[in-house]
């Protein structure tokens, strides 16, 4: 499906034109469905704690999961106890809901929830019905904020804050809904969300998010890591089974690596044969793919963890909005030294400064055609870190959690996952 959309959904072509009437019907159907939920004609469920939904309107990945990990870290720093719910896409479990741990089988619960459990070390519950996942999360863990990884269109889950992530470069393709284009909802949907985050590049009033990661971690021994720049000495295999494998390949190009591309479908169930290549070269992959390859990977396989960084203005605006919701629901956060440094301004915004969705300023959400090139803000690529990969002089062995350490590396790679 994703390959088909990559070919036909990101341009105006004959196939897209022929399918356009179906896209108009699809767009009408999703508008009507959302209207019925907003009017209470379809039942949704509310929760006693704030619910933040991080999603997108495109089919495929736009960078939601790295942003969710960043939000968990931010909320924990200021004294909240966040938990994550997810659909568990690709999971084959016959029993739901499921609590996910760092050791869970991604084949049962999905790869992204396992990645979040490993990276965030917070409660993660998956269920195709995100409402059931949210109830299970509150019943089994002391969480006072729920973050939904994806689920912007899962309207049965009432939400207090909506964050839409946009691929800053591919944007909305031909701006058509399925099946002629890559959109699950019309672009106008972004005008109703609380925050729009541009992954890699931001337009208009979007907040910029960049993904950084210039360290590779060895799959066979997670205590061994190396700077990406050290792989410039040889050709490597680059494999990616994410929504847009080109993002990972662009990330490696920014690091000035030479590689052979091996794209796979999103959520691909990797097998040992997928890692056997004719040329015996190092293999680089995404952290999400490493979740499924770790058990059979050789010592020349590496993954590249990335961490999201957002505009400070986004952090401040989100925390202010969340504080208002938490106050209304009687949720109190713990005071920590870090939390005091990140405390939202004591003056609450006046009525004129806040719109119906809780945003401080009204305006467009960076829709196509509303801004010129001068409004685009992008990440900068490429600084080198010391170290050598295994098999080359100076490979680095360190103690502690390798994935966390690699993700925290302050690079300028700017992979857009």
Give the start-to-end residue ranges of the domains of the chain: 2-81+144-210+310-374, 214-304+382-407
pLDDT of residue 325: 98
Band of pLDDT at residue 375, cut at 50, 70 and 90:
low
φ/ψ of residue 168, rounded to 5: -65, -15
Biggest CA pair distance of the chain: 66
Is residue 222 pLDDT above 50, yes or no? yes
Please give the Cα distance from 149 to 137 (Å, whole number). Answer: 14
3-state secondary structure at position 351: helix
Please give the Cα distance from 60 to 171 (Å, whole number). Answer: 12
Please give the Cα distance from 1 to 32 (Å, whole number). Answer: 25
Q: Which two tokens stand for residue 376?
A: 């685009």
The share of the chain scoring above pLDDT 90, in percent, equals: 64
Q: Which two tokens stand for residue 193?
A: 């969300």
Please give the Cα distance from 35 to 63 (Å, whole number). Answer: 27
Identify the DSSP state of 396: E
Is residue 218 pLDDT above 70, yes or no? yes
What average pLDDT does this structure show over 345-350? 40
**Listed residue (147, 403, 198) closest to 286, CA to CA:** 403
**Listed residue (14, 129, 5) closest to 59, CA to CA:** 5
pLDDT of residue 303: 97
* β 215-218/301-304 pair status: antiparallel
Bigger pLDDT: 191 vs 2: 191
267: left (phi > 0), else alpha (psi -120 to 50), else beta?
left
- 211 DSSP β-pair partners: 308
Q: Which of 17-31, 92-106, 112-126, 367-381 shows the lowest mean pLDDT across its residues? A: 367-381
Residues 6+ apart with CB under 8 A from 104: 98, 113, 114, 117
Is residue 332 pLDDT above 80, yes or no? yes
Please give the Cα distance from 12 to 69 (Å, whole number). Answer: 35
Please give the Cα distance from 290 to 217 (Å, whole number). Answer: 10
∠ Cα 411 414 415 (to 5°): 120
- 146 DSSP β-pair partners: 51, 83
**Residues 33, 190: contact at Cβ < 8 Å?**
no
Residues 6+ apart with CB under 8 A from 264: 239, 240, 241, 245, 270, 274, 289
Bigger pLDDT: 402 vs 167: 167
Bigger pLDDT: 170 vs 86: 86
**232-255: per-residue pLDDT in tens?**
999 999 999 988 888 899 999 999
**Listed residue (322, 345, 342) closest to 145, CA to CA:** 322
**Residues 72, 147: contact at Cβ < 8 Å?**
yes
Please give the Cα distance from 263 to 199 (Å, whole number). Answer: 21
**Listed residue (74, 54, 45, 99) closest to 315, CA to CA:** 74
Q: Which of 12-21, 304-313, 353-362 shows the lowest mean pLDDT across its residues? A: 353-362
| Most confident range, picked from 249-253, 403-407, 412-416 | 249-253
What average pLDDT does this structure show over 270-292? 93
**Listed residue (307, 323, 291, 416) closest to 70, CA to CA:** 307
* Separation in Å, CA 87 to CA 51, 90, 122, 143, 193: 15, 9, 17, 18, 21
Q: Which of 56-65, 111-120, 366-375 shows the lowest mean pLDDT across its residues? A: 366-375
pLDDT of residue 348: 38
| Residue with the two structure tokens 């004129």 | 352
Is residue 417 pLDDT above 90, yes or no? no
């Amino acid at each position: 499906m994703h390959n088909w959309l990559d070919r036909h959904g990101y341009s105006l072509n004959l196939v897209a034109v022929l399918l356009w009437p179906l896209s108009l019907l699809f767009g009408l159907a999703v508008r009507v469905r959302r209207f019925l939920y907003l009017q209470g004609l379809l039942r949704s469920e509310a929760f006693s704690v704030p619910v933040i939904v991080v999603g997108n309107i495109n089919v495929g990945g736009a960078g939601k999961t790295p942003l969710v990990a960043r939000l968990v870290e931010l909320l924990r720093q200021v004294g909240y106890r966040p938990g994550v719910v997810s659909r568990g896409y690709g999971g084959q479990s016959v029993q739901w809901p499921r609590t996910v741990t760092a050791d869970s089988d991604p084949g049962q619960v999905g790869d992204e929830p396992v990645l979040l459990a490993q990276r965030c070390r917070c409660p993660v519950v998956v269920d195709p019905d995100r409402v059931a996942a949210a109830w299970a999360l509150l019943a089994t863990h002391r969480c006072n904020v729920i973050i939904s990884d994806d689920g912007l269109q899962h309207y049965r889950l009432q939400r207090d804050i909506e964050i839409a992530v946009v691929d800053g470069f591919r944007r909305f393709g031909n701006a058509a809904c399925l099946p002629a284009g890559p959109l699950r909802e019309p672009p106008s949907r972004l005008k109703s969300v609380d925050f729009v985050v541009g992954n890699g590049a931001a337009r208009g009033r979007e907040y910029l998010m960049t993904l950084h990661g210039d360290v590779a971690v060895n799959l066979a021994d997670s205590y061994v890591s190396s700077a990406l720049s050290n792989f410039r000495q040889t050709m490597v295999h680059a494999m990616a089974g994410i929504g847009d494998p080109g993002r990972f390949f662009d990330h490696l190009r920014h690091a000035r690596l030479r590689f052979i591309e091996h794209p796979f479908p999103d959520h691909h169930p990797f097998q040992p044969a997928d890692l056997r290549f004719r040329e015996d070269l190092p293999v680089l992959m995404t952290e999400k793919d490493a979740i499924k390859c770790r058990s059979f990977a050789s010592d020349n396989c590496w993954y590249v963890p990335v961490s999201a960084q957002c505009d400070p203005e986004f952090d401040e605006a989100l925390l202010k909005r969340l504080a208002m919701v938490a106050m209304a629901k009687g949720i109190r956060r713990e005071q920590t030294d870090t939390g005091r440094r990140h405390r939202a301004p004591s003056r609450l915004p006046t009525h004129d400064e806040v719109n119906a969705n809780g945003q401080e300023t009204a305006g467009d959400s960076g829709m196509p055609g509303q801004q010129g090139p001068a409004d685009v803000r992008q990440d900068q690529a490429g600084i080198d870190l010391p170290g050598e990969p295994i098999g080359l002089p100076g490979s680095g062995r360190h103690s502690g959690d390798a994935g966390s350490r690699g993700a925290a590396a302050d690079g300028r790679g700017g992979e857009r996952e």
